[in-house]
Amino acid sequence: MRLLPLLGGLWLTTALAQPPDTPTPFDYLDTSPERIAVNHGVGIQLPVPGQFNGLGEHHYTSLFEHQPFAISVTGYQHEDLLLAVHAERLEDNAGSLHYDYLTPTTLNGIPFYQQEHCIEFSRSMVDNAQDLRFFRAAGFDFSPGVYLRQYFKTSVDGNADVVITLAQKTDSCSPIAVNKGFKARFSSKVMHYVKPVQTESAEHRLQQPPIRHAQ
């Protein structure tokens, strides 16, 4: 559910037209009922609100704009809300990940890039996206519509990112359903439930100068 704008307003998932599910040798997330920790170069932990139930993890590879990604995703559900985290790495180490074309913001004092939108997912869109298919199988139904806000953050070397998503089901994406009141209530839920914590990433530790002990 890493979503970016294409074709003048059409929103598509990165995982469209992927090969069948295959075992993967990586896991970029450390999860528990209480927290999600990213372990691949972006130092972020996300406490899990007590009301949310875990949906498990999924690990897969995908191409997005001809770039090969290795992706770990997890999700937690509470009623009509889905809290999801994608941890992604470029398999070719091209160092080209950036989101400076999105809106800069801060979340819990941490810099991110943000996007927000409503999507009416067709069955075929979910069928062809590994992450959406995984969430559907775990119990989160994306129909008829989902309103979501996403926060993007990359590693210093541009080879890894984390995407935090809060999504809420809606009857449709019409202005009647997604009105100012809906958006205000949704923003309150984001502020209440999504509180990431900055941690020292493995990448950051590797860049620190060695400690020199007194002789």
Between 41 and 161, name the one with better pLDDT: 161
pLDDT, one tens digit per residue, over 138-197 is 999 898 899 999 999 999 999 999 999 999 999 999 999 999 999 999 999 999 999 999
Residue 196 domain-assigned?
yes
Residue 12 domain-assigned?
no
The pLDDT, as a whole number, for residue 75 is 96
- Phi first, then psi, for residue 199 (nearest 5°) are -125, 170
DSSP per residue, 63-130: EETTEEEEEEEEEEEETTEEEEEEEEEETT-------TTSEEEEETTEEEEEEEEEE---HHHHHT-H
Amino acid identity, residue 168? Q
- In which element (H, E) is residue 182 found? helix 180-193
Dihedral over Cα of 73, 76, 82, 83: its sign: negative
Average per-residue pLDDT in the chain? 84
Between 74 and 65, name the one with better pLDDT: 74
Q: Who's near 195: CB < 8 A, 6+ residues apart? A: 46, 47, 107, 108
The pLDDT, as a whole number, for residue 212 is 32
Residue 215 domain-assigned?
no
Quote the domain boundaries for residue 168.
19-202
Instruction: In whole angstroms, give the CA distance from residue 140 to residue 48.
Output: 17
Predicted structure pTM score: 0.85
Q: For the chain, what is the domain count?
A: 1
Band (13; pLDDT cuts 50, 70, 90): very low
The pLDDT, as a whole number, for residue 63 is 85
Residue 214 domain-assigned?
no
- Phi first, then psi, for residue 144 (nearest 5°) are -85, -25
